[in-house]
């Protein structure tokens, strides 16, 4: 069973993804990381992808869906995958669902919740050490968060209606949240 991790920017999703992956043997697919790697390449595609990331907008549908499908079909069938950052809108959800079905992969979801204002503060802190261009401006951070609220929340809602989502509050220490994540995953995996 695969896992899709949702959460507003700054909720600690990346950190928790790594911990859960270590504990349960997931391979991580991080949509933003894959796209940043493409953006760093000196190609036409790289330049195009970079132009969206830099302003905090979702990259075009076909680009991200190609990246996901290629990455997932390359992985061994018996490796569980933790998806971080996909699907991000209803259009991606439709295609993600069909890719997963085609590849015979089932998944469930965890949504890490956080007050958006806390998220903004955490990301501005992260910007000081990680140097991500899209973290440095508060305007870009807020734009990405608005996209999450307007486009990704309806996706979470749809999966919730299927009974596939557990919520974990993204407050407390990294270790405390990790305990709740493990509980949520165990509950989902045994459904
Ligand atoms: P993240 O690392 O998840 O904050 O993503 C950084 C940036 O990568 C986003 O602001 C988008 O420009 C792009 N991105 C990440 N995931 C997706 C996706 N599923 N669809 C489109 N663009 C994405």
- Residue 50: CB within 6 Å of ligand 1? no
- Residue 13: CB within 6 Å of ligand 1? no
Instruction: Determine the distance from the C-alpha atom of residue 187 to the mean position of all C-alpha atoms in its chain, rounded to a whole number.
Output: 20
* Mean pLDDT in residue range 151-174: 97
Strand partners, 6: 111
Q: What are phi and psi of 166, to 5 degrees?
A: -115, 140
- Residue 170: CB within 6 Å of ligand 1? no
Model pTM score: 0.95
Q: What does 83-138 look like in DSSP terms, one character per residue?
A: EES---SHHHHHHHHHHHHHTT--EEEEEEE--HHHHHHHHHHHHHHH--HHHH-H
Sequence-ordered list of residues with C-beta below 8 angstroms from that of 29, at least 6 positions apart, any chain: 68, 71, 72, 81, 82, 83, 84, 86
- Residue 68: CB within 6 Å of ligand 1? no
Atom from ligand 1 closest to the CA of residue 53: 12
Model pLDDT for residues 48-78, shown as the tens digit of each residue: 999 999 999 999 999 999 999 999 989 998 9
Confidence of residue 135 (pLDDT cuts 50, 70, 90): confident
């Amino acid at each position: 069973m695969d896992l899709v991790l949702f959460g507003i920017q700054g909720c600690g999703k990346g950190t928790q993804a790594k911990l859960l992956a270590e504990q349960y043997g997931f391979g991580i697919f991080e949509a933003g990381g894959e796209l940043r790697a493409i953006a760093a390449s000196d190609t036409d595609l790289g330049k195009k992808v970079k132009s969206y990331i830099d302003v905090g907008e979702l990259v075009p549908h076909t680009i991200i869906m190609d990246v996901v499908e290629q990455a997932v079909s390359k992985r061994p069938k018996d490796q569980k995958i933790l998806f971080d950052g996909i699907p991000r809108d209803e259009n991606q959800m439709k295609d993600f669902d069909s890719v997963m079905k085609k590849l015979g992969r089932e998944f469930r979801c965890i949504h890490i919740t956080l007050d958006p204002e806390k998220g903004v503060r955490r990301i501005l802190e992260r910007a000081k050490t990680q140097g991500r261009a899209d973290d440095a401006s508060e305007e870009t951070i807020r734009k990405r968060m608005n996209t999450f609220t307007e486009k990704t929340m309806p996706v979470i809602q749809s999966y919730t209606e299927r009974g596939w989502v557990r919520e974990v509050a993204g407050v407390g220490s990294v270790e405390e949240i990790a305990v709740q994540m493990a509980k949520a995953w165990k509950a989902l995996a045994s459904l």
